[in-house]
Amino acid sequence: MKIQMVDLKGQYEKIKAEVDNGIQEVINNAAFIKGAQVKQFEEALAIYLNVKNVISCANGTDALQIAMMVLNLKPGDEIILPAFTYAATAEVICLLGLKPVLIDVERDTYNMDTSLIEEKITGRTKAIVPVHLFGQCVNMDEVTAIAAKHKLYIIEDTAQALGSTYTFKNNTKKRAGCIGTIGTTSFFPSKNLGCFGDGGALLTNDDELAKKIRMVANHGQSSPYIHDYIGVNSRLDTIQAAVLLAKLKQLKSYEKARNEVADMYDRLLGNHPALCLPKRNTQSTHVFNQYTLQIHSKNQELKLNRDELRKKLAEAGIPSMVYYPIPLFHQKAFLNPEIQDNDLPVTFHLCQAVISLPIHTEMNAQMITYIATTLLKIIDA
Ligand SMILES: *Cc1c(COP(=O)(O)O)cnc(C)c1O
């Protein structure tokens, strides 16, 4: 029994013929850039998500950058984002000369604590960037209400939550990434909808913005050799679009498989006083890009530290990861002397306490049981 964090080979084997045929067709047509499959994929994803426009690009980081580029933001404008996220979210803000304003997250869902947004809003605040972390949505009732009140843009980083559905208090349902001004996502191989390399997309219901996004992603061109904006070269390769067309058909079943793994972890690990399991946001479905729990809960301290625990798991053939080990404000690139650890206490705590267990579409009950029982054995030893 070989346990991996993700099993992309096993996932591929099940749809090999369709993927291979799709790739071969691209090669036969030699339309490697802007081939027909790119448009087909964009349209198929738009239907799946019930959003008016999907504009593909080269990766999820570019998607975030392009989103910030099309909103007429000026250097020094402030962007509110969670402190507990992947560096890409903050990176593009800094690259464009904008000011990242970090807010803390909820200890149990790991998502942006929306009750902390308003106190950070100033005259220069232009946008909120909710990151739907690990696969479930931020409290979007709150985010949309605050954004409307203060006239702010919402850029949803949906790299980890594609397919997740948010139910508003008035019972309206919307897909993650299709709620705010612009949504961004990634098709990095280990994301829920992953291609065989890099890929990304922007999502928006605003047709005018969609037009501008398409131009900015393609050197700011309105037509060949006519450049209306300073843009970037960020395109989804046709081969990747062909892979994604095949995999999009599986996304619903991938989501189900991931939820079955998470449910089983919940059942097997549920009662241990030293573990704090990921809490489901009742307003959102969860697509479990990661199953991330906390060790050292309030109830019981572990005898071993996280590194020792990971080493013991590895010795038993169980890989694990830490998303994310170092708070953004401790990274050399983003150091900000104004921020102290106790300004963002939950983020600081989570970086020390979280551990992500293997979760993917090819896991079976035997693997999950082995991982859970081994983990419990190690922490109780
Ligand atoms: C993966 C990820 C990104 C970046 O996506 P890439 O395609 O790797 O550039 C951005 N934000 C979050 C939250 C991510 O998980």
Decide if 15 is inside a domain. Answer: yes
Half-sphere exposure of 33 (CA within 13 A, CB side): 5
Amino acid at 355: I
Measure the CA–CA gap between 64 and 59, rounded to whole angstroms: 9
| Residue 175 three-state SS | strand
Half-sphere exposure of 287 (CA within 13 A, CB side): 24
Pair 67, 182: CB distance under 8 Å? yes
CA 64 – ligand 1 centroid, Å: 9
Name the token pair of 373.
């029982």
Q: In this structure, what CATH number is given to the domain that contains residue 21? A: 3.40.640.10
Position of tokens 């990151």? 131
Question: Please, are residues 251 and 257 in contact by the beta-carbon 8 Å criterion?
Answer: no
**Atom 1, ligand 1: residue with shortest CA distance:** 159
Residue 163 identity (one-letter amino acid): G
* 244 and 283 fall within a common domain: no
Q: What is the pLDDT of residue 91?
A: 95
Q: How far is the CA of 378 from the centre of ligand 1 (A)?
A: 32
Closest ligand 1 atom to residue 198 Cα is: 7
Instruction: Please indicate, yes or no, whether residues 155 and 264 belong to a single structural domain of this protein.
Output: no
Structural domain including 255 reads: 251-380
Token pair for 204: 């928006």
- Mark which of 194, 223, 248 sits at the end of a domain: 248
d(CA 287, CA 283): 13
For residue 157 and ligand 1, the question of a CB distance below 6 A is answered with yes
**pTM, entire model:** 0.97
CATH code for the domain in which residue 360 is found: 3.90.1150.10
Which ligand 1 atom is at minimum distance from the Cα of 62? Answer: 9
DSSP label at residue 30 = T
Q: Is residue 179 part of a domain?
A: yes
152 occurs within a structural domain? yes
Taking the C-alpha atoms of residue 220 and residue 230, their distance in angstroms, rounded to an integer, is: 5
Residue identified by tokens 């071969």 is: 24
Q: Which of these, 268, 286, 265, lies nearest to 355 by C-alpha position?
A: 265
CA distance 163 to 308: 35
Residue nearest to atom 2 of ligand 1 (CA): 159
366 and 230 in a common domain: no
Q: Are residues 177 and 291 in the same domain?
A: no
Tell me what pLDDT residue 297 has. 61
- Does ligand 1 lie within 6 Å of residue 199's CB atom? no
User: Do 183 and 177 meet the contact criterion of CB atoms below 8 Å apart?
Assistant: yes
Q: Are residues 314 and 198 in the same domain?
A: no
Last residue of a domain, one of 194, 216, 248: 248
Distance 170 CA to ligand 1 centre (A): 31
My answer on whether omega of the bond before 324 falls inside 30° of 0, hence cis, is yes
Residue 209 lies in a domain: yes
Same domain, 169 and 187: yes
Helix axis angle, 207-216 to 60-69, nearest 10°: 120
Max Cα separation, the chain?
68
Instruction: Say yes or no: 210 and 115 in one domain.
Output: yes
CA distance 106 to 114: 9
Output the pLDDT for position 271. Answer: 83
Q: Which amino acid is at 337?
A: P
Ligand 1 atom nearest residue 59's Cα: 7
| Closest approach atom of ligand 1 to CA 289 | 15
Cα gap 110→350, rounded to integer Å: 8
Residue 200 Cα: closest atom of ligand 1: 7
**282 falls within a domain:** yes
Distance (Å) from CA 157 to ligand 1 centroid: 8
Count of domains in the chain?
Answer: 2
Q: Is 188 in the pocket of ligand 1 (CB under 6 A)?
A: yes
| Among candidate residues 248, 274, 299, the one where a domain is terminated | 248
Q: Specify whether 238 is located in the same domain as 256.
A: no
142 lines ligand 1 (CB under 6 A): no
Co-location of 231 and 276 in the same domain? no
Per-residue pLDDT of the chain (381 residues; tens, 9 = 90+): 899 999 999 999 999 999 999 999 999 999 999 999 999 999 999 999 999 999 999 999 999 999 999 999 999 999 999 999 999 999 999 999 999 999 999 999 999 999 999 999 999 999 999 999 999 999 999 999 999 999 999 999 999 999 999 999 999 999 999 999 999 999 999 999 999 999 999 999 999 999 999 999 999 999 999 999 999 999 999 999 999 999 999 999 999 999 999 999 999 998 898 899 999 999 999 999 999 999 976 666 777 889 999 999 999 999 999 999 999 989 999 888 888 888 999 999 999 999 999 999 999 999 999 999 999 999 988
Q: Which of 190, 239, 188 is nearest to 38 (CA)?
A: 239
24, 241 contact by CB (below 8 A): no
Does residue 65 lie within any of the structural domains? yes
Q: Kindly compute the dihedral angle of the four CA atoms of residues 153, 157, 162, 167, in this order, to the nearest 10 degrees.
A: -50
* Pair (342, 258) in one structural domain: yes
Distance 159 CA to ligand 1 centre (A): 5
Token digits of residue 196: 């065989």
Centre of ligand 1 from the C-alpha of residue 134, in Å:
11
| Angle (deg, nearest 10), helices 36-49 and 16-29 | 140
Distance 289 CA to ligand 1 centre (A): 12
Q: What residue spans of the chain are helical by DSSP H? A: 8-14, 16-29, 36-49, 60-69, 87-95, 140-150, 207-216, 238-248, 251-269, 306-315, 345-353, 365-380
**Does 2 reside within a domain?**
no
Distance 63 CA to ligand 1 centre (A): 9
194 lines ligand 1 (CB under 6 A): no
Q: Name the residue of 57, 59, 86, 131 whose CB sits within 8 Å of the most ligand 1 atoms, as the mutation to test its pocket.
A: 86
Same domain, 325 and 244: no
22 Cβ neighbours under 8 A, 6+ residues apart = 37, 242, 243, 245, 246
- 91, 157, 328: residue to mutate for ligand 1 pocket, most atoms within 8 A of CB: 157
Which protein residue has the closest C-alpha to ligand 1 atom 7? 60
If one residue of 134, 138, 158, 186 were mutated to test the ligand 1 pocket, choosing by the most ligand atoms within 8 A of its CB, it would be 186
13 and 159 part of one domain:
yes
Nearest-angstrom CA–CA distance, 270 and 268 = 6
Residue 363 lies in a domain: yes
Nearest CA to ligand 1 atom 5: 60
